[in-house]
Amino acid sequence: MKKLALLLVLLMVLPLAACGPAATTPPAAQPTTAPAVKELTIMWAQWDPADYLQKIGQLYEQETGIKVTVIQEPWGSFYNRVAAEWAAHGTAFDMVVGDSQWLGQAATQGHYLELTDFLKSEGIDKTVTEATLTYYGEYPTGSGRYWAYPTEGDAVGWAYRKDLFENPEEKAAFKAKYGYDLDVPKTWEQLYQIAEFFTRPDKGLYGVAIYTQKDYDGITMGFENVFFSWGADWKDPKTNEVKGWVNSPQAVEALEFYRKLYAFAPPGSSNDFFAECNNHFTAGEVAMAMNYFAFFPALSNPATNPYASVTGFFAVPAGPTGQRFAALGGQGLSINAYISPERQEAAKNFIRWFAREDIQRKWAEFGGYTCNKAVLASDAFLKAQPYNPAFADTMQVVKDFWNVPVYGQLLEVVQRELQAYVVGGQGTAKEVLDRIAEEHDKILRQAGLIK
Amino acid sequence: MALWSATQSVGSDRSARTGIRRRQLSDRAIQWLFIAPTLILLVAMNIFPLFYSLFLSFTNYSAISAAAPVWVGLGNYQHILSDKQLWTYFATTGRYAVAAVGLETLLGFGLAMLLREKFRASGFITTLILVPMMLSPVVVGLFWKLIFNPQSGIFNYLLGFAAGQGPDWLKDPKLALWAVVIVDVWMWAPFVMLLCLSGLNAIPEYLYEAAVIDRASPWFQFWRITLPQVAPLLLIAVLFRTIEAFKAFDLVMGLTGGGPGDATELIAVNLYRIAFPPQFQTGLGSALAYIILVLIVAISNLYIRSLSRIRGEV
C-alpha cells in the first residue's frame, strides 16, 4: 500500500518537475554547442553524382558532426518512391534532389518547403546562374518564389570524334563539298551538314545519335534543343496560351529539321535515349552524339569508351536566328515540408554550407555539376574535365519543358506525336504540332492554367 | 520413485487440461482457424484493393497527391469512352490479340502434332522449344531489338536481305506491331504446344484403331477424333493467351516502348502511363483498368461457353 502511495505521488510530481524548469528557462539559454539533429538524409536517384554527394556529406560530418546519408533509389522507381512519401506526408528523407519538372506539383501540393526568403536573405540566389535558379528552383516561372537550391546542373550537349574531325583528308573532302572548314559546328545547319558528310552506311558510320525514345521524356528532350534554338516555345510566358506558340512557323521548321537530322542516325535508333546514344558512340557508329552532360564522364573514360582519347565535346549550336538553347536536365535540392521545424532548420544549415563557393568547388572536383557562377567561370573547373568548358557554356542557355502539376499529361502528348512524326514518318510537322497545341490547350484549360 | 510418480501425475494433469481445451474447440472453429489466414490474405491483398480501386475509379484521386479523393461520378468512364486516342489503343490491342493468339494457336498446335510422334531426341527438342517461354519478357524484348536491327540483326538476314537493305521493323509504323506479334508468338507458341501435347497424349489409342478398321481417312481421323479431343485444352490455351494479350506490357516496353508514335501502344501500356509516372491519374487509371477487366471477363465468358458446348454441358 505504501509502495502504491509512493508511486502515485511520484506520478503527480514528475510532470511538474519536467515542466517547471523548461517554462522558466528562456530559449536563448538552451545549449547550442551540441546540435539537436544528429543526422540528415537526402533522397536521390542511384547514379554517380549521388555518390559524389555522399562524399560531400562526409565532409559535412567532419565539420559539424552531423551525419549525412544519401539514400539512392534506382531511376526507374525514384519518382514513385518520392511520390509515395509525399502522399503519406512521410519523413523518410529530410531533403530530396528532385527533377525540375516536379516543382509545380511539389510546390502547389505543399511537399516542398518554400526557400525564397532563405535563399535571398543568405544571398545564395546570387551565387548560381540565373537560368539554373529559374528552372531548378522557381515556381511558378517568373514569380520569384524558390523551392530548391540548384544542385546538379545538367543539360544536353554533344560529343564528337576528334580523329574524324581533325583528319586532313576528311577536312579537305568536307571543304571541297561544303565550302568551309570542318570544325565543331557553330550552327544547327553546320551540324546537319557534318552529319550528312559522315553518314557512310557501307562503312557502318553515321552522322549522329539523337534522342528518339517514346518512354518518359526522351524525344522531347532531344527535340527541345532545336525547338528553342529556332525561337519557338511551349507557351506564351505571360498567359500560358499554347495555340500559335507550340505550332508556330518556327516550331514547324524546327520539327522538320529534327526529322531530317534523324535520317543520319544509325539503323535501329527508333527508341534511343541516353544509354543508346552513348552506346552508338562507344561502338564507333557515329561521328557525333547528343547526350546529357551527366553521361559524358563515361565517354571520356577509356575503360568504357575505346575512343575516349579522341572524344571532344561541344555545346548546343545556334539556330537560324542565332538563338541557342539547350534542353535542361539536372535537379535541385529541396527540403521535405513534412519534417519537424528543427530538422528543416538543420536542412537549411546544410544547404547554406553546401552553397559555399569552396564546397561547390569540392563538389565539382568530386564530379558533381555545380551551378555556382564563380566555380563555373574558374580556370580550375574549365580545365578539370574535357567536357567542362562546354558544360559551363551550356549552363547559361538552358531552357525547360513545363513544370506545372499536369506536366505528365502534357509530356505524354508530345512524346507520342513527336515520335510518330520523327521516327514513324506519319503526317506533317504542321499537323503534329497542331494536334499537340490542341491537346495541350485542352489539358491546361481543364487544369485552370489557361483562363 | 516419488519423483517419477510426481512427474507422471503432473504429465497426466497437463494432458487432461489440453484435452479439455481441445474438446472446447469445435470442428467448425478448427476449420476457421485453418481458413482464416488465407481469407485474411485474400481480403487484404485482393478483395479490398478490388473494391477500393472500384471506388477510386469514380474519383479524381492521384496517388501522389496529398488531397483526398473527390467523387466525380461517371466522369472518368465518360472521359475514357469518349477519348478517340484510347479507342485507338483498344483497336491496336484487339489487332495484336487476334494476330498473336491466332498464330500461336496454329503454330503451337502444329508443333504439338509434330512432337506427338516420338523420335530420337524428341524429349530434348521439346525442352528446347519450351525455353523461350521461360525467359523474362523484358529481356526477350531487349534482345529481339538487336535481332530486328536492320544493319546488324539476324532477322532480315534470315529473310534474305543484305545488311542495311531490309526493312526497319521497329521504326516502320506498319511493321512495328507485327514485330511485337512475331516475338510474342516466338515466346508463347510453346505454351500452346505444351497444352495441346498433353491433350493429344491423352487421346485413347483405341479410337484411332477403330477408325482405321472403319477405313477412315487421316483427315477424317483428325477432324472427328483429334480436334474434338484436344479442343478443351486448346481453348484453355487460347483463353490464357487472350487474357495475357490484353495485359501485354513488359515485352512491348522492352521492344518498342509503345512506338513509333502509337503504333504499338497497347492498352495496358497506356494504362501504365496514365496510372503511374509521370501522370499518376489514379482515378482515371482505375476506371480504365475496370473497363479492361470487363472486356476480359466478357471475352473469357465467350470462350467458356464454347468450352462448355464442346464438352456437351450446354
**Could you tell me which residues are beta bridge partners of residue A138?**
A146
- Interface touch A268/B276, C-beta < 8 Å: no
Q: Identify the closest residue of chain B to A88 by CA–CA distance.
A: B66
Those residues whose C-beta lies under 8 Å from the C-beta of residue A324, and which sit 6 or more positions away, are A229, A315, A316, A317, A318, A397
* C-alpha grid cell, residue A255: 520539327
What is the spatial distance between Cα A158 and Cα A170, in angstroms, rounded to a whole number?
20
What's the grid cell of residue B14? 497437463
Does B263 lie at the interface with A, CB-CB under 8 angstroms? yes
What pLDDT, on a 0 to 100 scale, did the predictor assign at position A348?
97
Q: What is the pLDDT of residue A393?
A: 93
Q: Would you call A156 helix, strand, or coil by DSSP?
A: strand
Exposure of B101 by Cβ count < 10 A (0-12 exposed, 13-18 middle, 19+ buried)? buried
Query: Angle of helix A407-422 relative to helix A218-229, nearest 10 degrees?
Result: 80
Chain B neighbors of A80, CB-CB under 8 A: 276-277
pLDDT in tens, B47-86: 999 999 999 999 999 887 777 899 999 999 999 999 999 9
On the question of a cis peptide bond just before residue A21, with omega within 30 degrees of 0, the verdict is: no
Q: Is A448 on the interface with B (CB under 8 A)?
A: no
* CB contact (8 A) between residue B164 and residue A201: yes
CB of B78 less than 8 A from some CB of A: no
C-alpha cell at A265: 542516325
Grid cell 477405313 is found at: B215
The reported pLDDT for the residue numbered B3 is 44
Q: Which residues of A211-245 are buried (b: 16+ CB within 10 A; e: fewer)?
A: bbbbbbbbbbbbbbbbbbbbbbbbbeeeebbbeeb
Does A389 sit behind a cis peptide bond, omega within 30 degrees of 0 on the bond before it? no
Q: What is the DSSP letter of A328?
A: B
Contacts with A201 from chain B: Cβ below 8 Å: 151, 164
Question: What is the DSSP track for A254-267?
Answer: HHHHHHHHHTTSPT
A325 in helix, strand or coil?
coil
CA–CA separation, A248 and A253 (whole Å) = 9
Residue A222 confidence (pLDDT): 97
- Within 8 A by CB and 6+ apart from A406, the residues are A443, A444, A446, A447, A449
Q: Which chain A residue shows the shortest CA-CA distance from B148?
A: A268
Q: Are A413 and A436 in contact (CB under 8 A)?
A: yes
Q: What is the DSSP string of chain B?
A: -HHHHHHHHHHHHHHHHHHHHHHHS-HHHHHHHHHHHHHHHHIIIIIHHHHHHHHHTTB---TT-SSPP-B-TTHHHHHHHT-HHHHHHHHHHHHHHHHHHHHHHHHHHHHHHHHHS--TTHHHHHHHHHGGGGS-HHHHHHHHHHHT-TTT-HHHHHTTPPTTTS--TTT-HHHHHHHHHHHHHHHHHHHHHHHHHHHHHTS-HHHHHHHHHTT--HHHHIIIIIHHHHHHHHHHHHHHHHHHHHH--HHHHHHTTT-STTTT--HHHHHHHHHSTTT--HHHHHHHHHHHHHHHHHHHHHHHHHHHHHTT--
Do A423 and B277 lie within an 8 Å CB cutoff? no
CB contact under 8 A, B164 and A267: yes
B167 CA: distance to closest CA in chain A (Å): 10
* Cell 527508333, residue located: A270
Q: How many CB pairs under 8 A join A and B?
A: 109
A39-45 and A95-99 as β-strands: parallel, antiparallel, unpaired? Answer: parallel
**Phi, psi at residue B121, to the nearest 5°?**
65, 20
Strands A286-292 and A156-161, by their bridges, are antiparallel
Q: What does B152-187 look like in DSSP terms, one character per residue?
A: T-HHHHHTTPPTTTS--TTT-HHHHHHHHHHHHHHH
Nearest to A398 by CA among A131, A158, A139: A131
> Cα distance from A22 to chain B (closest Cα, Å)?
36
Nearest-Cα distance to chain B for A286, in Å, is: 14
> Given this model, what pLDDT does residue A215 score?
84
pLDDT in tens, chain A (451 residues): 444 444 444 444 333 333 333 333 333 333 344 458 999 999 999 988 999 999 999 999 999 999 999 999 998 789 888 988 888 889 999 999 999 889 998 999 899 999 999 999 999 999 999 989 999 999 998 899 999 999 999 999 999 999 999 999 999 999 999 999 999 999 999 999 999 999 999 999 999 999 999 988 899 999 999 999 999 999 998 999 999 999 999 999 999 999 999 999 999 999 999 999 999 999 999 999 999 999 999 999 999 999 999 999 999 999 999 999 999 999 999 999 999 999 999 999 999 999 999 999 999 999 899 999 999 999 999 999 999 999 999 988 999 999 898 999 999 999 999 999 999 999 999 999 999 999 999 999 999 999 8
Q: Give, in degrees to the nearest 5, the angle at Cα A201 between A200 and A205.
A: 60
Rounded-to-10 torsion of CA B177, B181, B183, B184: 130
Asked if A400 and A328 count as a contact pair (C-beta separation under 8 A), the reply is: yes
Residue in B closest to A101 by C-alpha:
B278
Judge contact between B168 and B223, C-beta under 8 A: no
Q: Residue B15 — pLDDT band, cuts 50, 70, 90? A: low
C-alpha cell at B9: 501425475
User: Residue B18 — very low, low, confident or very high, per pLDDT cuts 50/70/90?
Assistant: low
- Interface check for A86 against chain B (CB to CB < 8 A): the answer is yes
Distance from CA of B286 to the nearest CA of A (A): 16
Residues in chain A with CB shorter than 8 Å from the CB of B259 are 214, 270-271, 419-420, 423-424
Q: Is the ipTM of this complex over 0.85?
A: no
Is residue B282 less than 8 Å (CB to CB) from chain A?
no
Distance between A83 CA and the closest CA of chain B, angstroms? 5
Top pLDDT among B195 and A405 is at B195
The separation between CA A78 and the C-alpha centre of its own chain, rounded to angstroms, equals 14
User: How many other CB atoms are there within 10 angstroms of residue A346's CB atom?
Assistant: 22
d(CA A426, CA A422): 8
Compute the distance between CA of residue A252 and CA of residue A245 in angstroms, rounded to an integer: 10
Closest CA to A50 of A138, A156, A151: A151
CB-based contacts of B307, cutoff 8 Å, min separation 6:
B232, B235, B236, B239
Q: Distance (Å, rounded) from C-alpha A178 to C-alpha A173? A: 9
One-letter-per-residue 3-state SS of A383-450? HHCCCHHHHHHHCCCEECCCCCCCHHHHHHHHHHHHHHHHCCCCCCHHHHHHHHHHHHHHHHHHCCCC
CB contact under 8 A, A214 and B257: yes
Q: What pTM value is reported for the model?
A: 0.84
What per-residue confidence (pLDDT) applies to B2? 44
Other C-beta atoms closer than 10 Å to the C-beta of A329 total 24
